[in-house]
Amino acid sequence: MNEQAERVATTSEQQFRIKVDSFWVRRLRDWFVFRYLVRIIWMWMTVGRRIRNAHQEAKRSGTIFYIDDLMGGGDV
Amino acid sequence: MKPNAPPAEYAFAYKNKPTSGNEINGLGVAEKFRPVPPFHNSGRGAGREEIPWAALDTFFIMSGPWTVFWENVRGLWERRNAAGPVTRDPIEITDPQAMADQVKAKAREIGIQIIGITLYDDDSQYRENAFPYKYAIMVGTVMRRDAMVTAPHTPAAKEVMRGYRVGSEHANQLAAYIRTLGWQAEGYGIGEDLVQHPMAIQSGIGTLGKHGSLINREHGSNFRISSVLTDLPLMLDQPLDFGAEDFCVSCKKCVTECPPGAIFDTKQMVRGDKKWYVDFDKCIYYFSDHMGCSICIEVCPWSEPGHGPRLSEKMLKRRAANASAGAAMR
């Protein structure tokens, strides 16, 4: 679990952290981040809506909403 | 239990429960090992599928109201400013104390209220994600008390997310300033791959409270942490003992107010250290059902504005009196 492996850039570094002094490289990064944010907003509006509705319905009916059913889960 | 807090009853569950978060965190394990994120984390290059409780994390993010989610989105957009080019040759540093003072003065100008400097610690990372820096500047962003008293409801959740976003902005602005001095620096905010608590304690901005969050002498637990990692040589701050530790031993406020009863009243063995610990498996369902909850940090007596310094004075006086009584007995 704790072996010191070779350094791997994190997701956050890959997506957001640009150290190059180039206007266009930074704008391209902004475009990718923008696209990523549009995607998660879309997810909130679609997948999120299904989750919120299923959760509310479970509350109303006194049943249990299994989060695995919508999103997968448990150990992978 | 806090009067306006809903009970710990849930209309959602896992069919196939992930490995216990307490097991992942090393509860009851005397051997030291590096922490592994069971829940929030942006993930390594391999992605979020590595996070055992990712489905509940997704439920947490997606089930909240738009106002809370939108603050999260704004915080992610701010991450673009975390790193950047160093624009000149590094200025020569002959006096790390003067440099630390200069950085802290700049931090105050930016609006940072809590700041401490420590060494970047190799243990302050999840698994093999080493960061190539020597120093960590720990930044605390104070949250609005009027919003936090509404915990576990939407205004508090929104304020927490705002605190993280503003903390990221502050850290990024300070990092940008350091880069203008010719030294590499990067800002780190919410959900990144850095374990910030141990360094925050070492930097003197707070001590670990019974509720598993930091307690700052002036602001209690009413703040969020962000950080700047840099190579700029700086004089280090030291951990601060202001009596919160003694206070937590006798105070049970967070323990009794926590709806799922997740807060241990005594220290637990966690990854080789005896420390305050919150039962992950009990906390996380309530946390996810109520937008991050925050009851424990809100009800902490140190979080009441103006109380911290008075409590600190009282606890330190009591300790000194006990010490002199003990000496007299001997």
* HEC per residue, A35-72: HHHHHHHHHHHCHHHHHHHHHHHHHHHCCCEEHHHHHC
What amino acid is encoded at B96 in this protein?
P
pLDDT tens, position by position, B11-56 = 999 999 999 999 999 999 999 988 888 887 654 443 445 688 888 9
Helices (H) and strands (E) in chain B, counts: 12, 9
Q: What is the pLDDT of residue B111?
A: 97
pTM for this model (two decimals) = 0.92
What amino acid is encoded at B16 in this protein?
N
Considering only CA atoms, which of B315, B270, B278 is closest in space to residue B297? Answer: B278
Q: Crossing angle of helices B54-63/A23-45, nearest 10°? A: 80
Provide the pLDDT confidence category of residue A71 given band limits of 50, 70 and 90.
low
Contact: B58, A71; criterion CB under 8 Å: yes
Measure A61 CA to nearest chain B CA, in Å.
Answer: 9
* Farthest CA pair distance, chain A: 57
What amino acid is encoded at B132 in this protein?
P
Q: What is the four-CA torsion angle of B40, B42, B43, B49, rounded to 10 degrees?
A: 70
- Residue B43 CB partners (closer than 8 Å, separation 6+): A10, A11, B49, B50, B51
What amino acid is encoded at B134 in this protein?
K
Q: What is the pLDDT of residue B41?
A: 63
* Farthest CA pair distance, chain B: 64
| Alpha carbon distance B282, B191 (integer Å) | 21
Residue B42 touches chain A, beta carbons under 8 Å: yes
Q: What is the pLDDT of residue B129?
A: 56
Q: What is the pLDDT of residue A69?
A: 77
Average pLDDT over all residues of chain B: 92
Contact: B52, A75; criterion CB under 8 Å: yes
Is beta strand A65-66 parallel, antiparallel or unpaired with respect to B12-13? parallel
Residue B189 touches chain A, beta carbons under 8 Å: no
Measure B77 CA to nearest chain A CA, in Å.
Answer: 7
Q: Please name the residue that has the structure tokens 């006798």.
A: B250
The mean per-residue pLDDT over the stretch A55-63 comes to 95
What amino acid is encoded at B14 in this protein?
Y
pLDDT 10s digit of each residue in chain B, 330 long?
788 899 999 999 999 999 999 999 999 999 998 888 888 765 444 344 568 888 898 899 999 999 999 999 999 999 899 999 998 899 999 999 999 999 999 999 999 999 999 999 877 777 665 678 999 999 999 999 999 999 999 999 999 999 999 999 999 999 999 999 999 999 998 767 788 999 999 999 999 999 999 999 999 999 999 999 999 999 999 999 999 999 999 999 999 999 999 999 999 999 999 999 999 999 999 999 999 999 999 999 999 999 999 999 999 999 999 888 887 777
Q: What is the pLDDT of residue B326?
A: 81
The mean per-residue pLDDT over the stretch A10-25 comes to 79
Contact: A63, B87; criterion CB under 8 Å: no
Select from A15, A59, A76 the Cβ nearest to the Cβ of B49: A76
- Residues in A 31-70 with any Cβ partner in B closer than 8 A: 33, 36-37, 40-41, 43-44, 47-48, 51-52, 55, 58-59, 62-69
Please give the structure tokens belonging to residue B70.
């939108």
Q: What is the pLDDT of residue A15?
A: 67
Beta bridge partners of B117: B137
Average pLDDT over all residues of chain A: 80
- Residue B223's SS3 state is strand
Q: What is the pLDDT of residue A21?
A: 87
